[in-house]
């Protein structure tokens, strides 16, 4: 029986590490589902969660978990105005997941690629298009006109998150737009009109994370024909990986949380303890320890936005998992906010009220042994960093002093915001 074009559009091919693993089937945006292909089981094994903790490879579809599977794919798309811009580009509703993934699913976070094999031009040949500083500057000034820096029709990519950004590839010091599924290698964030210092504050947060040993990747402020942008090297891209991609998923996807449920007080699906359980599921103690270091760093620098989409795990080709390098670590206590952490620490949300004992007791609930040593080592690294490295120009003037006070208060057993 022949199928209509609309039905064919909903039968999207899902590949992981270059292997066919299944299809997204069903035209209805609220009832579509993932169906595992036999090749996924032959390649990765029955029950493998290499695609997602929420999407195991099964011979028989478990219909009770269909919403969880749909959520994994929906969470590949951006949020807020960034999603609105993508939807407007192809003239569909923001919740039309299938239509959006059909157009933007070839270059998403991780090593998954999603596309309609019967669409005109398939199979596509990935390519690059050189762009100069002036063109990048124009993209950064108007992300609505070119969402994520995409080129119409061929340069389509998607990346989760709320912040405005573009994605490009960098090769031998030159910048390129990515076409037809070529893997982007860097994210570039423009200055924010609402929070003029935030892009520059984030650069300092990333350097603090690097000093704490939580990432080895580079970030820097680069001038694009008079427009400054924060350049961030992607941790899910590598020349040594198949098709240049390393697979990953965020904790919203792993734990079945949708959109604003990334914050603990929206629905209660996420907590630090649940995240630690996912990361340590296969005896990976090191990833749990790194989560504690990330939590301590976030508390010390005032990163209030350590939520479910800013904590992710890698799914390596051999089936092993580990926490990703740290990203999106942004000092925020000086911004217009309620001062609450995204995830409770020892049942406390208010950043200013949290103490080093709260960090330790939180970690003890994860069954971390000797958490005090990990916490104090991380605080010591922040203290050394903030006394030796200054923020870049245009960062918040009081940033260095705030972080020095927060880390000192924690190390001396006082509430983080004491005296502030």
User: Tell me, what CATH number does 349's domain have?
Assistant: 1.10.1070
**Of 71, 95, 115, at which residue does a domain stop?**
115
Instruction: Single out the residue in 94, 115, 136 at which a domain terminates.
Output: 115
My answer on whether 100 and 23 are in the same domain is yes
* 213: three-class secondary structure by DSSP: coil
* 86: three-class secondary structure by DSSP: helix
In this predicted structure, what is the pLDDT of residue 149?
A: 52
Last residue of a domain, one of 71, 88, 115: 115
**Domain membership flag for residue 266:** yes
Classify residue 263 by its DSSP letter: S
What CA–CA distance (Å, rounded) separates 297 from 210?
11
Q: Which residues are catalytic?
A: 305
pLDDT at 61: 87
Give the per-residue pLDDT at 267. 85
Provide the residue range defining the domain that includes 253. Answer: 247-411
Q: What is the pLDDT of residue 413?
A: 97
HSE-CB of 136 using CA atoms within 13 angstroms: 30
pTM metric for this prediction: 0.93
Within this chain, do residues 287 and 400 fall inside the same structural domain, yes or no? yes
Do residues 254 and 335 share a domain? Answer: yes
CA pair distance 81, 94, nearest whole angstrom: 10
Do 271 and 149 lie in a common domain? no
Same domain, 315 and 190: no
- What pLDDT score was predicted for residue 1? 32
Give the contacts of 278 (CB within 8 A, at least 6 positions apart). Answer: 53, 251, 254, 255, 313
DSSP string covering 342-372, please? EEEETTEEEGGG--HHHHHHHHHHTT-SSHH
Which ranges of the chain have pLDDT less than 50?
A: 1-9, 151-159, 161
> What is the number of domains present in the chain?
3
Given this model, what pLDDT does residue 3 score? 41
Q: Is residue 417 part of a domain?
A: no
Residues 365 and 339 in one domain: yes
Q: Does residue 121 lie within any of the structural domains?
A: no
pLDDT tens, position by position, 23-36: 999 877 889 999 99
Checking DSSP bridges between strand 312-315 and strand 247-250, what pairing results, if any?
antiparallel
As given in the structure block, the two tokens for residue 408 are: 């000192």
Q: In angstroms, rounded to a whole number, what is the distance separating the alpha carbons of residues 155 and 302? A: 36
Same domain, 9 and 153: no
pLDDT attached to residue 146? 59
């Amino acid at each position: 029986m022949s199928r209509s074009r609309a039905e064919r559009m909903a039968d999207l091919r899902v590949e992981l590490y270059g292997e066919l693993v299944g299809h997204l089937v069903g035209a209805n945006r609220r009832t579509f589902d993932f169906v595992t292909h036999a090749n996924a089981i032959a390649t990765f094994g029955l029950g493998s969660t290499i695609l997602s903790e929420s999407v195991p490879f099964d011979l028989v579809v478990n219909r009770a978990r269909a919403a969880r599977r749909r959520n994994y794919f929906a969470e590949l798309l951006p949020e807020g105005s960034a999603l609105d811009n993508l939807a407007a580009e192809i003239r569909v509703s923001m919740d039309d997941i299938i239509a959006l993934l059909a157009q933007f699913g070839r270059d998403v976070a991780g090593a998954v690629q999603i596309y309609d094999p019967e669409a005109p031009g398939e199979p596509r040949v990935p390519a690059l298009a050189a762009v100069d500083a002036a063109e990048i500057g124009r993209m950064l000034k108007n992300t609505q006109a070119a969402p994520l820096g995409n080129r119409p029709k061929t340069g389509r990519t998607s990346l989760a998150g709320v912040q405005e950004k573009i994605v490009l590839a960098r090769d031998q010091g030159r910048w390129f737009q990515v076409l037809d599924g070529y893997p982007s290698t860097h994210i570039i964030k423009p200055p924010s009109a609402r929070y003029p210092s935030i892009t520059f504050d984030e650069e300092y947060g990333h350097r603090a994370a690097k000093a704490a040993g939580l990432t080895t990747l580079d970030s820097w402020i680069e001038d694009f024909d008079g427009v400054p942008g924060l350049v961030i090297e992607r941790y899910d891209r590598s020349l040594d990986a198949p098709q240049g991609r390393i697979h990953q998923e965020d904790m919203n996807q792993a734990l079945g949380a949708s959109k604003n449920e990334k914050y603990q007080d929206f629905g209660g699906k996420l907590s630090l303890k649940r995240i630690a359980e996912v990361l340590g599921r296969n005896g990976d103690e090191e990833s749990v320890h790194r989560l504690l270091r990330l939590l301590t760093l976030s508390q010390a620098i005032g990163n209030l936005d350590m939520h479910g989409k800013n904590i992710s795990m890698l799914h390596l080709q051999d089936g092993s998992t580990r926490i990703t390098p740290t990203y999106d670590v942004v000092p925020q206590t000086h911004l217009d906010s309620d001062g609450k952490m995204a995830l409770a620490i020892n049942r406390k949300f208010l950043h200013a009220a949290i103490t080093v004992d709260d960090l330790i007791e939180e970690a003890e609930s994860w069954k971390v042994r000797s958490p005090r040593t990990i916490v104090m080592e991380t605080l010591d690294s922040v203290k050394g960093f903030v006394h030796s490295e200054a923020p870049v120009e245009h960062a918040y003037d009081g940033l260095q002093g705030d972080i020095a006070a927060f880390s000192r208060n924690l190390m001396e057993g006082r509430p983080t915001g004491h005296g502030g």
